[in-house]
Structure 1
Amino acid sequence: MIDWIIFLPACFALNLACGPSNLLAMTNGARSGIGFAQKAATGRLMVFVPMIAISALGFGLILTASPFVFGISKLIGAAYIIWLGISLWRSASTINPDEFLGETSSMGSAFRAEALVALSNPKAILTFAAFFPQFVAVEAYWQSYALLGVAFLVMEAVAILAYASGGQLASTFAASKIPTLQRISAAVMCVFGALILVTPQPIAP
């Protein structure tokens, strides 16, 4: 039986943690509105579904068992997130605060960015491979893993809404500070990328 009392708050804390994906949702919410950010973030959710399935099959252990595979995954993920942070920093100089609210960007590019950030961060699949098994009911393995996955995705959607709403509020009430806020987000994203580079290989559960 799944211990929901422990899993739900612990998992939601992971969903709400400030990371590259949530920073993207906040940026999209500020630039193009909550609805746009939520639609773009379906790219993230669609990537998480097969990642959860892969972890359930046990393939997530490959990342924890192979230093080479983990190292390559970590390098690619860190490089992409740092590049995205640099791109956000550069674009901040082109922002016109007076025209910022309602400014739209390409849904396709926003969707791809969400998907690639989720896919290129090895910590996501390691979370599914190391965190979920602690709550799986052995007598109903596949059913419980699926339920955990659904619960995670629902809470991830709530976290996306929270960050997108925060971004939109910032653009509404502090539009003049948006370039600064975007540079802060970009810098934090670069820091996350650097932290991924020094993340030690976790021990398989």
Structure 2
Amino acid sequence: MAPGPNNLLSISNGSRYGFGRACTGGLGRLLAFAIMIALAAVGLTAVLHTSEWLFHAIKIVGAAYLFYLALQLWRAPCEAHDVDAGVQAGLTRLARQEFLVAIGNPKAILLFTAFLPQFVDRTGVVTTQFAQLGAMFLALECIAIALYCWIGVHARRLFAKPSGKRVFNRVCAGLLAGAASFLLVARRV
């Protein structure tokens, strides 16, 4: 629930495209997390723990994408518009953004490889336990998506004027660039 890169993206998308479109775009994040949970369940994430190169590659690609999104947001047009103007952004594009931000974040991958396994009883059926834990995580993530999209919708009302929208876009861009910077200096757990 902490405001990481995906949640900042949900705030931005909620403010630009409305609650429903931003929440639907969040399905991309859920897909990325479901893939990570499945990989953790079958043990393929052990490769990430042992491969310094793979960890750094994911980290660099993820940070580059966050910097790209920050630049796009920084340069976004700031004229006032209503939610209907945001219909131009396709749901596929919003979901792809959410997916790429999530899948390119090695900290999210490490969450599933270091945190979730602590709650798995290795004497039981591991994949079933991962599925249950993963389902709970994804349910909580749905709540986070809705919450941050809702915040974005209400932030739009606060920044209805072009100058306010510019400030909002640039603050979100700065936060995304900051998240990218932290990602670049992140170390494995």
> How far does residue 126 in structure 1 lie from its aligned partner after superposition?
0.9
Partners in 1 of 2:65 and 2:128 — Cα distance?
Answer: 34
Is 2:50 the partner of 1:65?
Answer: yes
Partners in 1 of 2:129 and 2:13 — Cα distance?
Answer: 33
Query: Stretches of 4+ moved more than 6 A in 1?
Result: none
Partners in 1 of 2:92 and 2:129 — Cα distance?
Answer: 34
Aligned pairs (5 A) from 1:16-165: 16-91=1-76, 94-97=77-80, 99-104=81-86, 105-138=89-122, 139-165=124-150
**Identity among equivalent pairs (%):** 36
Opposite residue 115 of structure 1, the aligned amino acid is: F
Partners in 2 of 1:137 and 1:181 — Cα distance?
Answer: 45
Q: Which moved more, 1:64-73 or 1:102-111?
A: 102-111
User: Helix, strand or coil for the counterpart of 1:131?
Assistant: helix
> How far does residue 101 in structure 1 lie from its aligned partner after superposition?
4.1
Partners in 2 of 1:100 and 1:90 — Cα distance?
Answer: 19
In the TM superposition, what whole-angstrom CA distance separates every residue of 1:131-158 from its partner, at most 9, and x where no partner exists? 1011112223222111100000000000
Partners in 2 of 1:194 and 1:76 — Cα distance?
Answer: 12
User: Which residue matches 1:191?
Assistant: 178
Number of residue-to-residue matches in the alignment? 184
In the TM superposition, what whole-angstrom CA distance separates every residue of 1:99-123 from its partner, at most 9, and x where no partner exists? 2444312222212111111111111
Gaps of 5+ in 1: 1-15
Opposite residue 119 of structure 1, the aligned amino acid is: I
Partners in 2 of 1:172 and 1:102 — Cα distance?
Answer: 14
Opposite residue 87 of structure 1, the aligned amino acid is: Q
- The answer to whether the Cα contact below 8 Å between 1:78 and 1:196 also exists between their aligned partners in 2 is yes
TM-score by length of 2: 0.92
Partners in 1 of 2:83 and 2:78 — Cα distance?
Answer: 10
- The answer to whether the Cα contact below 8 Å between 1:101 and 1:172 also exists between their aligned partners in 2 is no
CA RMSD of aligned residues (A): 1.3
